[in-house]
Amino acid sequence: MYPEYFSVRMRAAEGKAHELGGKHISGGERLCDHSQLGAIATELLAKASNHTRGSADFIQLVVEKVPSEQLQFIPPLDVSAIEVATVQEGHDKAKDQLAAAGVSERAIEHAFFILNHERNLRGAAIVNCETGERLDDREQKGVRVSRMDWNDGGQVEDSVRVREALALATKVAHSPYTVAELCWSDDPDYVTGYVSSQQLGYVRISPLKKMGCESGGRVFFVHNDVDIDSYMNFLERKPVFIQGGDSE
Ligand code: PML
Ligand code: MG
Ligand code: MG
Ligand code: MG
């Protein structure tokens, strides 16, 4: 018998629900067994409240059983960090890393355009690594990577934010369709971002944006031959535990 696992998802918006035009405040994704449901729901509600992007007045919490016979266990990406003096230098470093991973200049420029101009992207944009074309049709909703968590009994020594981002980046990088990911936060007070891939690992770059700026999000660069439906299905539905390693 497999143990039962549940996906717990939270999204929060200000003004009204996202789909009615509300401002995206926060989202969160966890995977847990039944005994942890209450604690995790409480953590996600706390994450939605007192947020630097604003005051949430729409919070949705969804709990769903996941088919645990499909659970996959994968090791976290290796973590490294680059400190730079200016945002421009951070962008240059990120672009170098993406180019090294095989992303074209055109695709890199489109991704930077998206993250510089998008103040309300909830999920990720999927971009063709050669042509730079955006392949998902989700607009501001984007593609929300879901059903992943750490399988370490919740021993949180590191920043919760870094753990969540590393778990997400590890799941994304695990797909053979992923060439690389670029992310910086949409939170105005958080300026560290990252570039990641199976080969590069999780490369934290700081700063990647100016303090006070609310535009950000994620771009997943994918191979030209991507099967977009199966890629999105993997990201949104495949349950994955990150196991072992150290997130720092
Ligand atoms: C976010 O959750 O706001 C995105 C954070 C990305 C950077 C995390 C890190 O510092 O490694
Ligand atoms: Mg977000
Ligand atoms: Mg955020
Ligand atoms: Mg650690």
Res 247 pLDDT > 60: no
Res 49 pLDDT > 90: yes
Digit-coded pLDDT (tens) for 62-80: 999 998 888 999 999 999 9
Q: Is 202 close to ligand 1, i.e. is its CB under 6 Å away?
A: no
Q: For position 153, what pLDDT does the model report?
A: 64
Mean pLDDT, rounded, of the chain: 94
Ligand nearest to the CA of 52: 3
Q: Is 204 close to ligand 1, i.e. is its CB under 6 Å away?
A: yes
pLDDT > 90 fraction of the chain, expressed in percent and rounded? 89
State how far the alpha carbon of 199 is from the alpha carbons of 26, 98, 116, 193, 212, in Å. 30, 11, 26, 18, 32
Mutate to test the pocket of ligand 1, among 52, 183, 196 (most ligand atoms within 8 A of CB): 183
Res 5 pLDDT > 60: yes
Digit-coded pLDDT (tens) for 103-149: 999 999 999 999 999 888 999 999 999 999 999 999 999 999 999 99
Q: Is 194 close to ligand 1, i.e. is its CB under 6 Å away?
A: yes
Going from the Cα of 109 to the center of ligand 4, the distance in angstroms, rounded, reads 34
* E strand or H helix at 89: helix 87-101
Going from the Cα of 151 to the center of ligand 2, the distance in angstroms, rounded, reads 23
Q: Is 185 close to ligand 1, i.e. is its CB under 6 Å away?
A: yes
Q: Is 195 close to ligand 1, i.e. is its CB under 6 Å away?
A: no
Q: For position 3, what pLDDT does the model report?
A: 78
Burial of 169 (0-12, 13-18, 19+ CB in 10 A): buried
Res 158 pLDDT > 90: no
Res 155 pLDDT > 90: no
Mean pLDDT of 8-14: 97
Q: For position 138, what pLDDT does the model report?
A: 94
Res 248 pLDDT > 60: no
- How many angstroms separate the CA atoms of 197 and 187, rounded? 23
